[in-house]
Structures are given as structure tokens and as C-alpha cells.
Amino acid sequence: MHDHDTEVVTTNRHVLAWVGEMAELTKPDRIVWCDGSESEQRRLQALGEAEGWLRALNPKKLPGCFAARSNPNDVARVEHLTFICTPTKEEAGPTNNWMAPDQAYAKLRALYDGAMAGRTMYVVPYLMGPPGSPLAKVGIELTDSPYVVLNMRIMARMGQVAMDQLGDGDGFNRGLHSMSDLSAERRFICHFPQDNTIWSIGSNYGGNVLLGKKCLALRIGSYLARQEGWFAEHMLILGAESPEGETTYVAAAFPSACGKTNFAMLIPPERYNGWKIWTVGDDIAWMRVGEDGRLWAVNPENGYFGVAPGTNFNSNANAMKTIAKDTLYTNVAVSDDGDVWWEGLDNEPPENLTDWQGRPWKKGSPDKAAHPNSRFTAPMTNNPFLSPFVNEPRGVPISAIIFGGRRATTVPLILESFNWTHGVYMGATLGSETTAAATGQVGIVRRDPMAMLPFCGYNMGDYFAHWLRMQGELRFPPKIFMSNWFRKDESGKFLWPGYGENMRVLKWVIDRARGRATRRETPLGFIPRLSDLDLVGLDVTPEQVEHALRVDRDEWRAELESAGTFFETLAPRLPKALEMQRQLLLAQLG
Ligand code: SAT
Ligand code: MN
């Protein structure tokens, strides 16, 4: 009988040499090669319970579910401690923190020295993307966190499948992670795109340490995508199936707090009986040009790492079903009978809870029971509307791309670009307003190009140029749209109901992409005629919809000025075509 914990799943000499080198640096007491099996998962869950950071939940209510607690100082991504370590600062560009590679390696090497002493180093081979896909990438994460292993097993395809894809080659991402002492002073997330390497230390929070996600799939991914001629984007992917059985695939980028996961799991309203929205992905899209000249997308991930607060049966019933079993919760509140609770769940809180920090919490307490960024990690196979094509190696063909923001004014409910360059302009100038909860100041537009501001692993100007250049490869480019579910009237009331009713807008997008719906031309792009939108059964007047769709010249003059100010921050690498596009729109406004 073999000892499971010492089973080496590879003879790849590149992997073995690198693991040896990193172990020499971090000096773990032992090394465990992870295979992603259920027995391994059970062992790590038991370890977490014994160490006290993990709690098994009520198996009757939430079978296979656990709740983890983090260090209270370690609950979110840390953009100011996230670095792109390219040889020159120019390559990282003005939107990234930069450190010279030599300096970053030296600084972190000192921190990693002996950091795993007394601990176990887990070797986690993982695959991003469907097995056998031309887009799939192998990563290996070395971590001293069993919490990371439990999450990676859900978020990525883990174990032998990755080693099989790698073979005996050298083409894998080298990820090193140590919790170290979880001190914010010694916390760094460093990316070395030239070396396909990520070094993360001092945190145990998802986006900082599940290295396949933001670090590999977006930051390193976007860098490789530019080199290799594809796209790594912060986009959901959905398939909309009509009652006749025609499915149209749409990718969409929204900055945070704009309902991306909800849109990816949209439930069509009654009026759209017979329609089905299939989720391919809720966060990241890897896309390449197929031999047929269309854009094909895969979801590199295997699970959802979603925000718990606000998730309920009204906002996202499919998410609620997805997280009902085999889910790892982090920093939510837990009831005495082992159920979970968070702010914005349907029901009233129970009288007593254990809050996200492990303290007793009483109903009516002014403190939040769950952390506002508390999370669920759930296998995508739990999703009742998981696309049947999610494991398709070539992906799904994208007919439309939507860039959406949260804007009280200016941006129409839906706006179709004139052409690819105009569509790239829409993405490049994507903005979203800060909500009162976040900053205390409402209505400040933050530019978040393609929702990639924290995730683009190189110079943003070069990233735009890459988008523009890809048009030449696409014989059948997707149509590009801009959306805004959040426009308000003069009294501050939302003009559009949002959520499932966004299906009505999506339907127009699909029909436009398939060349069968009409539209109106405005100086800023195309919008639907009222008759192009099915408004039957909506508690909204035609006037309100007209307002939601309106292109107001004064608002747009200000918007185009503001985009110009943003573009100035990206000079000198901003493509001329985008500034000229801006000038053209200004001229068209008259
Ligand atoms: O905060 S994470 O990066 O882990 C998740 C997300 O923002 O999508
Ligand atoms: Mn995201």
C-alpha cells in the first residue's frame, strides 16, 4: 500500500527541480503532493477543524459544507501590495505597482527563507481551462496553507489532470505561496510575467493566494495573451437558449458591485418562458480566434468564488442552489445549529450567531455578523444552469461582448458600438460610480477599463493596442455593447428594474448580434427603438424606458471630456485610434 501523502504524481524533472529549490528556500518539515482526491479533501478538512479555523456545517441543511475564518486583517485583495515585476516600469505601465524583478526576488526571498519551517508544503498541480483545450494552462502552486488547497480543489481542475496536460515540458506557471506570519507589513503579491512566476506571501485571502484566479488567469494570462495573440479577460460568459433551441453566447465585463455573477446566472422572467440562460463562467474568460474567424471562449475556472452578502433567492436563486452543498464558506456568520447567515440573505437573522470573527453575535447588534466581503467557494457543477459546453476544449463562440457599469446618468441602458474600434473605446473608458456604502461620496466615476484595472498584467495602453490589433484576426468579430442597469430619474429612482428583466435587453443584444433586430442611430452609437424591446408585463412606462435609453448631448460632452482626462494618464502608450475615436464622437455630438 502506498503512502498517499508522499505519492509523487510526476517524473517531470522541471517540476521536481523547482519544487526542490523552493523547499530549500522555505524549509518545510514535509512536502505533500496533492492529487485533488476526496480522501485528501477529508484529511485537510479534519486538519482545519483540529486547528480551529474550519467548522463543519449542519449536514442536513448544508451537506458537505464548511465555514472557515480568516485573520481579521486579511479579508480582501490588497492592490497596493500587488506588483507587476517586469524588467522596466514602462512595461507595467501607470496603472500597476511595479518592482524590478531582481529587487522583488531578493526582497521576497528573505521573507520566504525558512517561512515554512514547522509546516507542510503542499504541491498543488492545477489546470486552468478544459482538459485538452488549446487555451488551457498548467500551474503548480506551492503553499503552506491547507485552506488554499481546499479552495484550489474547487476553483481549478486539480491533480493528475494537470500533470497529464503538462507532460514532461517546462510550460507551467510557478506559484509560490506562504502565509508566513500573516502580517500586513510583510504581505506581497508579486508577478513575474517573463518567468511565468507568481510569489505571494503574508496573506491567506482568495484573490491574493488562489494563484490560478486573478494572478495567473488575469495578470499573467493577459501578458501571455498579448504575446500569443488571444484574450484573458475579466468577463462572465453566458449562453442564452431560445425556446426554439438556438443558443447565443455573450461575454460581459462589469466592474465590481455591478451584478456580474447575477447576470451570469440570470433567471428569465415569466414573459420569457422557455428561455434558458446557461452559465459558462462568472468571472474570467479566455478567448481565442478560431479557424472559422469567430471568437471562442472558455472559462478557465472550475468553481465560483462569490460574495455572500446580498446573495438571496430574489437576487440569485441559482447561486443559492449552487452553494447548498459541498461549499466552503469564508467569514460568514454561523448559527448554533450550523447554518450560515449573512446580511442580505432572505430571512431574518436568528437570535444568536457566531460572527465572522468567532464572537457571539445577538440579533439587533449594530455590527455586521458576516464580513461584507465574506465568500463562498462552490463547485460549478452544483449550478443547475451550468452550460453543457463548459468542458468543451474549443470553448463557445462569442456573438456579443457587453461592457457594463453603474452610472446614475449619461450611459444608456444599452448602446451598440458603430464598429470594433468604437467598441474597444467603450471598454477602454468603462466607468462605474462608487456607491455610498463604499466611499461616502456618491457619483464619482472611477475608470476601470474593461473591468481590468487591477488585473491587467502590463501597460494599459499596450493592452488597448492589443484589443485593436485583434480585429485584424477576427473575420466575424462579436458586436460590442455598453450597458447600464443603474440609470436614475430626477428623483433618484432607478429607471430600469434590472435583475431578471435584463433578459429583455439581452434579447435585443442577441437579435442585433444575429442581424435581425432594428435600431436607432445616435451620435454615440445605436440604441433600440422602443418597439425593439419587449416591455409587456413590465411595471415601467415607455417614458421611463425612453429616459433610460436617452443620449443627452450635455451629459456626453462632459463624459467625453472626462474620458480625455483619463486618456492623458495613459499617454504616451495610448493608441492614437482611441483618442481619435473620442474626437470623432465629440465632433458627432455637434
Ligand atoms: O477578491 S477576489 O479577487 O478573490 C474575487 C473577485 O474580486 O472576483
Ligand atoms: Mn472578479
Are 60 and 151 within one domain? Answer: yes
* Confidence label for 439 from pLDDT (cuts 50, 70 and 90): very low
pLDDT given for residue 7 in this prediction: 60
* Confidence label for 2 from pLDDT (cuts 50, 70 and 90): very low
Q: How many helices (H) and strands (E) does the chain have?
A: 17, 31
Expressed in angstroms and rounded, the spacing between residue 258 Cα and the centre of ligand 1 is: 13
Which of 176, 199, 229 is the endpoint of a domain? 229
Q: Active-site residue numbers?
A: 258
Parent domain of 286? 233-303+387-589
Does ligand 1 lie within 6 Å of residue 305's CB atom? yes
User: Which of 477, 459, 484, 505 is CA-nearest to residue 421?
Assistant: 477
* Number of Cα atoms under 13 Å in the Cβ half of residue 51: 15
How many domains are there within the chain? 2
User: Which of 477, 478, 464 is CA-nearest to residue 430?
Assistant: 464
Closest ligand to Cα 376: 1
* Confidence label for 256 from pLDDT (cuts 50, 70 and 90): confident
The C-alpha atoms of residue 382 and residue 303 are separated, in whole angstroms, by: 9
Are 448 and 535 within one domain? Answer: yes
Give the domain CATH number at 147. Answer: 3.40.449.10
The whole-model pTM stands at 0.97
Are 22 and 160 within one domain? Answer: yes
Does ligand 1 lie within 6 Å of residue 214's CB atom? yes
The protein residue whose alpha carbon is closest to atom 2 in ligand 1 is: 207
Does ligand 1 lie within 6 Å of residue 77's CB atom? yes
In a domain, 197, yes or no: yes
Chain centroid to CA 526: how far?
A: 28
Q: Which ligand 1 atom is nearest residue 234's CA?
A: 8
Instruction: Quickly list DSSP for 497-543.
Output: --GGGHHHHHHHHHHHHTT----EEETTEEE--GGGS--TT-SS-HH
Mean pLDDT value across residues 218-244: 98
The Cβ of residue 462 has, within 10 Å, a number of other Cβ atoms equal to 19
pLDDT given for residue 441 in this prediction: 63
Does ligand 1 lie within 6 Å of residue 283's CB atom? yes
Tens digits of residue pLDDT in 369-385: 999 999 999 999 999 99
Q: Residues 130, 392: contact at Cβ < 8 Å?
A: yes
Expressed in angstroms and rounded, the spacing between residue 234 Cα and the centre of ligand 2 is: 6
Q: Which ligand 1 atom is nearest residue 210's CA?
A: 4
Does ligand 1 lie within 6 Å of residue 207's CB atom? yes
Which of 177, 200, 229 is the endpoint of a domain? 229
SS3 481: strand
In a domain, 8, yes or no: no
pLDDT given for residue 90 in this prediction: 98
In a domain, 324, yes or no: no
Does ligand 1 lie within 6 Å of residue 206's CB atom? yes
Mean pLDDT value across residues 22-27: 98
pLDDT given for residue 157 in this prediction: 98
The protein residue whose alpha carbon is closest to atom 5 in ligand 1 is: 207
Are 447 and 519 within one domain? Answer: yes
The protein residue whose alpha carbon is closest to atom 1 in ligand 1 is: 207
Which of 209, 229, 249 is the endpoint of a domain? 229
Q: Residues 293, 474: contact at Cβ < 8 Å?
A: yes
Q: Residues 549, 413: contact at Cβ < 8 Å?
A: yes
pLDDT given for residue 3 in this prediction: 43
Share of the chain above pLDDT 90, in %: 95
The protein residue whose alpha carbon is closest to atom 3 in ligand 1 is: 207
Tens digits of residue pLDDT in 260-284: 999 999 999 999 999 999 999 999 9
Are 269 and 151 within one domain? Answer: no
User: Which of 148, 113, 110, 129 is CA-nearest to residue 32?
Assistant: 148
- C-alpha distances (whole Å) from 10 to each of 33, 68, 157 are 9, 31, 16
Are 33 and 158 within one domain? Answer: yes
